[in-house]
Structure 1
Amino acid sequence: MDDHLWLPYSQMKTAMKPLRVASTSGSRITLDDGRVLIDGIASWWTACHGYNHPHIAACVSRQLAAMPHVMFGGLTHAPAEQLAARLAALLPGDLDRVFFSDSGSVSVEVAIKMATQYWLNRGVRDRHRLIAFHGGYHGDTLGTMAVCDPEEGMHSLFAGVLPRHHLCRLPTDEASHAVFDAFLDRHAHEVAAILIEPLVQGAGGMRFHAASVLSRLRASADRHGVLLILDEVFTGFGRTGTLFACEQAGIVPDIITLSKALTGGTMGLAATVARRHVFEAFWNDDPSAALMHGPTFMANPLACAAANASLDLFEREDRLGQAAVIADQLAAELEPCRALPSVLDVRVRGAIGVVQLTLPVDLDGLKRRLVAAGVWVRPFRDIVYLTPALTIDTASLSRLTAAITAALSSTSAA
C-alpha cells in the first residue's frame, strides 16, 4: 500500500491492501495486474451509464478546451444555466431554484442551512432543529453527521459533540405515523424541517419503505408548517425505477438534494434545489438575508457539461426501462439466497438488490471470495448489495448474482 494515502472507512493499520485500478469501461474495472472485475456497485452508485460513456467524454472534452473552470461569484456560464433549467424542468412542482455544490454531503449541508435561514429570514428564531430518522445516512461532514443515525451509522464517536436534532423512528404505518404526528405537534415550534431519504435509506442499511410514508410525511409537514427535505443523493436518476424517488409518492418536497449519478459518475457535482416559496424568503433588499454559502468549485463547467451529457442520455436512451429489467433479474437471481442459513432477507427495489445477513460476517474474507470470482462488490456490516450501472448487460449481472450466491453459500457452509 502507498505510504502516503489515507483510505476512506478504513482502519489503516489492519485494512486489506486496496486493488490498484488501471482503467474502466462499461461495467468493468481493469486492475494493474490485468484482472478484470465486473462492477456491481457502479462506484458508489454514480456510474449510472457505465464507465467512460463516449457522449459524456466528448462533452467534457469540448468543455475542457473552452473553459475548465471559472468562479461562480459574480460570474455565470452556459453549462450551469442549461443544467439548472433542465433540472427545474425534470423535477416535480415548482422546484426551480438550483444551488450547485461539489458533493452530496455538502448539498445536504446547504439544505440544512437553507431550511434554517428560511425561518430566520421570516423572523422566526426558534426553528433550528431538524427531524431525521433511525437508519438514515446523509453524509460525513459535521452537519450531516448530526442527522445520521448515531447507533446504526459510522458516527457514534462524535455523538457528544454534534449539534442536537430530533431522531425519530420512521413512521411506516398509520399507528406509527400517529405517534410521529403527535411528536411533531409537541415540537413543531422548534423544527425547521423534516429530512428523509425517499424510498430507500441507503448507506444506513439499504432499508426500504413504501411511498405512502412520504405522502404522510408531506401531509404532516404541511399540517404543522414544517419544511420537507428529500435527500435524493442516492435515489435520484433512475436508481429506484423512476427518475426521482419522490415521483412514486406524487409529492413535491420543499428542498431536494441531488448528487452521485448527476454527472454519470465522471466527477463531483451536487445540487440543492428549492421551491419558489423557499427562495422567496431570501429575496430581499437586506444583504444579510442572502444565502451566504459558496463552494469554490460550485457549478464547475466541466462537471456541468458532464451532467448535461448525462441528462442527454436519460432523454435518448431508455434508462428507466433498463432499471425495470435489472429489477426483475435481481429479484429472480438473488431469491435463492433466501434459503441460506446466513441470510435474513432478500429485497429489491428498482436497480437495487439487497441480501441482508443474520449477523455481520468476515467482510474481508467475503470481499476476497467475490474478487476471486471476478466481481467488485463492497458489502458492509450485515448487507451485501448490488447497485449496478443501468446499462449493465444481463450476462454480467448474472455473474454478479451468481458470485454473491456462491460466496454466501460458502460462508453458510463454514
Structure 2
Amino acid sequence: MSNIEFDKRHIWHPYTSSHQPLPCYEVVHASGVHLHLASGEKIVDGMSSWWAAIHGYNHPILNAAAHAQIDNFSHVMFGGITHQPAIDLCKKLIDITPSGLDRVFLADSGSVAVEVAIKMAMQYWACQGRAEKNKLLAPRNGYHGDTFAAMSVCDPVNGMHSLFKNSLIEHYFAPAPQTRFGQAWNPDDIAPMRDILETHHNSIAALILEPVVQGAGGMRLYHPEYLRACRQLCDEFDVLLICDEIATGFGRTGKLFACNHVDISPDIMCLGKAITGGYMTLAATLCSDNVAQGVCEGSPGVFMHGPTFMGNPLACAVANASISTLLESNWEQNVANIHKVLAAQLAPLLSHEAVADVRTLGAIAVVEMKQAVNVAEIQKVFVANGAWIRPFGKLIYLMPPFISNENDILTLTNAISAGIEKCC
C-alpha cells in the first residue's frame, strides 16, 4: 500500500470527510518558501503552513536553536520549575506587545490560548465578587478556535460550529464591523456594539475579537477605528477586552501586532501560529497585571489551568530564535513589498464574472468568489502552476512567508488566475 493510499484510508486530516477525503500531497522536503512533493513538484507555499512559517522552512537560525536546546533538554514540567528559554521568551513578549501586558501564560496551541483568556476573564470577575459577569461578547464572523469555549465565541450562524450550538454556552454577538480597512470610518459601525453593552454590561465579562482581520470566519479586513471604539466601550462599561492576535501577530498585517494600527492595549491578548516561525506548537496568553492580580484574589487563590507541555523549552527556544530573526530582519519592508505585488496582480480579477471581491492588507490577500470552489479540482491547477494554496468555501486566499520575493508572489497570483480561469 502506498503512503498516499494508507493516508487516505487511515489518517483523518483537518476539516475533511472520512468518507470522501480531499486529496493529500506528500511533502518530502521543505526549504525557503518551497515544498518539495514526493511526486517531484517544487511548489511555493502560499499559506505559510496555516499562517505560521513566516521565515519559510529549514531556516538555519531556527534549526540551530532547536538543535542546541534538544541537546540540552527538550522538556521539563512547568509546575514548580522554570528555565532560561521560557524566561527569555516571556521577556521578549512583554517587550514587544502593547504596553500593560505584563503577565504571560504559556500554552500549547491557539485554541488553548483562547480557552485560557476566556477562563481568565470569568475568574477575574468571579474573584471580584461579580460572578454574574460570566458572558462574552463578540462580533459576528469571528473565529477563535475549535475547542468548546473557543467555539462558543465563533460566529454562531455562519461559522463552522453550528452543529454544536445546543452544547455550547450562549453568548452575545454584535453585527460584524462593516467599514473596510482603507475606507472612511463610519462611526455608526460601532452603534450595535454599544447597544448590547449598554443593555447587558452587568453580565458581560469580556469582549473578544480579532483585531483588524477576521480570519477563518471570512477573511474580512475592517477599519482599525472599530478596534479603538471597542477599547473605549470596554473602559466605559467595565468589560475586559480580549484581542485574539493568533493569526495577525508578528507582522502579518504590516504592523507587529494588529492592535498597533491604532495603538490600543487589550486587557488580555492571545498569540500563537507564527510565534515559533511554524516550527513547534506554542501559544501565549498575556494579560495586564490588574487582571493577573484580580484572578488570584480570594478563593481558590490560583489560576486553575496548567497544560502538560506548558512552557516547553524546545518550543520556547525556537520561539526566541524566530522572534529575534523577525525583529532583526527588514520585515516591514518585506511585507510592504509583498503587499504591493499582491494588490497589483490580484486587483484585475475583480473584472472576472465569478469573482465577488478582492482585498489585501500586509502579507494577506483574499479573492472571494461568488460560489464555493471545488477545493480538490482547483488545488490540482494550483500545484500544476507551482503553488500551494488551500481555499475554503468561497475564499481563495494567500498568507505567504515574509521571505517571499517578487517571483514567488507572482507564482502564487498567477496560479490563482489560472485556477479561476479553469475551474470557475
1:369 to 381, 395, 398: 381
Contact 1:336/1:405, CA 8 A, preserved across alignment: no
Other-structure match for 1:261: 274
Q: Which residue is equivalent to 1:169?
A: 175
- 1:92 matched residue in structure 2: 98
1:203 aligns with 2:231: no
After superposition, the C-alpha distances for 1:32-89 in whole angstroms (9 at most, x for unaligned) are 1221111101100000011111101101100000010000000000000110011001
Alignment pair present for 1:357 and 2:396: no
Question: Among 398, 401, 410, which residue is 1:389 paired with?
Answer: 401
Deviation of 1:372 after TM superposition, in Å, equals: 1.6
Alignment match of 1:60 (pick from 53, 61, 66)? 66
- Give the alignment of 1:3-42 within 5 angstroms: 3-42=9-48
1:283 and 1:190 map into 2 onto residues whose CA distance is: 21
* 1:283 Cα offset (Å): 4.2
Q: CA RMSD in A?
A: 1.1
Contact 1:342 1:411 in 2 (8 A): no
Indicate yes or no: 2:335 matched with 1:329. Answer: no
| 1:348 alignment partner AA | T
Alignment partner of 1:221 is 2:234: yes
**Is 1:50–2:56 an aligned residue pair?**
yes
Query: Hey, what does 1:346 align to over in structure 2?
Result: 358
- How do 1:277-288 and structure 2 match up within 5 A? 277-284=290-297, 286=298, 288=300
Alpha-carbon separation, structure 2, partners of 1:282 and 1:129: 16
Q: AA paired with 1:230?
A: C
Q: Find the counterpart in structure 1 of residue 329 from structure 2.
A: 317
Inter-partner Cα distance in structure 2 for 1:170 and 1:219: 17
**Alpha-carbon distance, 1:154 to partner:** 1.1
| One-letter amino acid of the structure 1 residue matched with residue 235 of structure 2 | D
**Cα deviations by residue, 1:341-368 (Å, 9 ceiling, x for unpaired):** 0001111000001101111122221111
Give runs of aligned pairs for residues 70-109 of structure 1, distance below 5 A: 70-109=76-115
Tell me if the contact between 1:171 and 1:180 (Cα under 8 Å) persists in the aligned partners. no
Give unmatched runs, 5+ long, in structure 2.
179-185
Cα deviation, 1:4-55, whole Å, max 9, x if unaligned, reads 3111100121123311111111111111122111110110000001111110
Deviations 1:295-321 (A, max 9, x none): 000110000000000111122111121
Q: Which amino acid aligns with 2:351?
A: A
Q: What residue in structure 1 maps to residue 181 of structure 2?
A: none
TM-score scaled by length of structure 2 = 0.95
In the alignment, which of 398, 404, 414 is matched to residue 410 of structure 2? 398
**2 CA distance for matches of 1:74 and 1:101?**
16
- C-alpha offsets along residues 217-250 of structure 1, whole Å, 9 cap, x if unaligned? 0010000000000000000000000110000011
CA contact (8 A) 2:108 2:310 kept: yes
- Residue 136 (structure 2) aligns with: 130
Q: Please state how far the C-alpha of 1:170 moved relative to its aligned partner.
A: 2.5
What amino acid does structure 1 have at the position aligned with 2:374? Answer: D
Q: Does 1:252 align with 2:258?
A: no
Counterpart amino acid of 1:338? L
Between 202-211 and 365-374, report the one with greater CA deviation: 365-374
* CA–CA distance in structure 2, aligned partners of residues 406 and 34 of structure 1: 21
Aligned pairs for 1:145-156 within 5 A: 145-156=151-162
Give the CA deviation at 1:150.
Answer: 2.4
The amino acid of 1:132's aligned partner reads A
Please tell me whether the aligned partners of residues 120 and 295 of structure 2 are also in contact (alpha carbons under 8 angstroms): no
Does the CA-based 8 Å contact 2:189-2:226 persist in structure 1?
no
Pairwise CA distance, 1:171: 4.1
Q: Secondary structure of 1:195's match?
A: strand
Among 274, 285, 304, which residue is 1:272 paired with? 285
**Partners of 2:38 and 2:423 in 1: CA distance:** 29
What is the TM-score with the length of structure 1 in the denominator? 0.97
Query: What is the identity percentage for the equivalent residue pairs of Structure 1 and Structure 2?
Result: 44
CA contact (8 A) 2:139 2:177 kept: no
Deviates more, 1:4-13 or 1:299-308: 4-13
The Cα shift of 1:132 comes to 1.1
> 2 CA distance for matches of 1:32 and 1:382?
29
Task: State yes or no: 1:304 paired with 2:336.
Answer: no
Task: Count matched residues.
Answer: 411
The code of the aligned residue for 2:395 comes to I
What is the CA–CA distance in structure 2 between the aligned matches of 1:371 and 1:180, rounded to whole Å? 43
Give the drift of 1:336: 1.6
2 CA distance for matches of 1:47 and 1:128? 36
- CA distance in structure 2 between the partners assigned to 1:108 and 1:364 by the alignment: 31
How big is the shift at 1:410? Answer: 2.3
SS at match of 2:198: helix
Whole-Å separation in 2 of the counterparts to 1:402 and 1:380: 19
Q: Distance in 2 between matches of 1:60 and 1:41?
A: 23
Give the secondary structure class of the aligned counterpart of 1:228.
strand
- The alpha-carbon deviation at position 411 of structure 1 amounts to 3.0
Amino acid in the other structure paired with 2:257:
F
2:300 alignment partner, SS class: helix
CA contact (8 A) 2:296 2:303 kept: no
Query: 3-state DSSP class of the match of 2:28?
Result: strand
The answer to whether 1:185 aligns with 2:198 is yes
Unpaired stretches in structure 1, ≥5 consecutive residues? none
Q: Aligned partners of 1:34 and 1:408: how far apart in 2?
A: 24
Q: Secondary structure at the match of 1:86?
A: helix
Q: Secondary structure at 1:288's aligned position in 2?
A: coil
Distance 2:224 2:334 in 1: 21
